[in-house]
Amino acid sequence: MKLKVCGMKYNPKEVAELQPNYLGFIFWEPSSRYFEGRMPELPSNIKKIGVFVDAPLEEVRDKVKKYNLDGVQLHGNETPDYCERLRHAELVSASHDGVPEPPLPKRQQVRNDPLEIIKVFSMKDEFDFSTLTAYEEVCDYFLFDTKGKLPGGNGYTFDWSILVDYPSTKPFFLSGGIGLEEVEKLKLFLESPASTYCHAIDVNSRFETKPGLKNIEKLSTFKKLLFENESIKTENP
C-alpha cells in the first residue's frame, strides 16, 4: 500500500521527509493550492504528480517538461482519446522560466518511460462502473474521489463499500476527505474485498493548516497509525 499527499504548495520538502510515495502538485489555477514557481529538489524515489482539470494537452505537456513530472492526475472530463494522446506524447525536460539549469541525469532529460496517467472519477452513493471500460487501456491507475462542488479537496468521504462492486483489475487510489479520524475505518476497508486493487491512499485537505500548507505532525501520525501494520506498510518507489 502506498501513500500520496496532494495539494503541495508551501512545504513540499518537509512533507517529502516523511517519505510518501507520491506528491501531488495542482496546476488548476482556480485552486487555492495552485502551484507555481520553482519545484524544490525532492528525493528521486518520490513521484511527482501534476493535477489538471480539463487542461489543453499542450499546457499539460509544458508542465510535465518544466517540472519533470512522473505522472499526471486528470480531474476533469478528459476523454479516453485525450489520455491516449497524452500517454504517447514525446516529453523532454525543459528549464524553469527560461533560466538555464545544470545538466540533468540522462533519465531526466528524455522520458523513455511512459508518463503515468491517473484518471479521476467522482463517487457519491452509487457509481456506474461501466464508465471505466473505455479508460482501461489508456490509464495506469484510476482514482476515486468524493463528488462535490470542487474537482477535489472537498474534505469529506464517500461510501467506500460501493467499491465491492469494482469490476476491474486496474489498481486505484482511494481519495476524498481522508483524515486521522478515518484511520480505523481505513484499516477495516483495507482488510475487505473492496480494497483488493487499492494501490494507494490519497490525502489532502484534512492535513492542512491552510490550503497548501500541510501539518507535518498530523501526516506523520497518520502514516504511523495506518502503516504500522507490516502488511500495509508503504514502500518506495
What is the domain-level CATH number for residue 140?
3.20.20.70
Query: Does the residue 169 lie in any domain?
Result: yes
In the chain, pLDDT over 70 holds for what percent of residues?
A: 82
**237 domain-assigned:** no
Whether 66 is in a domain gets the answer yes
Q: What's the number of domains the chain is made of?
A: 1
Given a cut of 50, whether residue 181 has pLDDT beyond it is yes
CB 68 within 8 A of CB 94: no
* Structure confidence by residue, pLDDT tens digits, 125-171: 789 999 999 999 999 999 999 875 555 455 568 999 999 999 999 99
Answer whether 141's CB lies under 8 Å from 172's CB.
yes
Give the model's pLDDT for residue 232: 52
Q: Say whether 87 sits in a helix, a strand or coil.
A: helix
- pLDDT of 114: 75
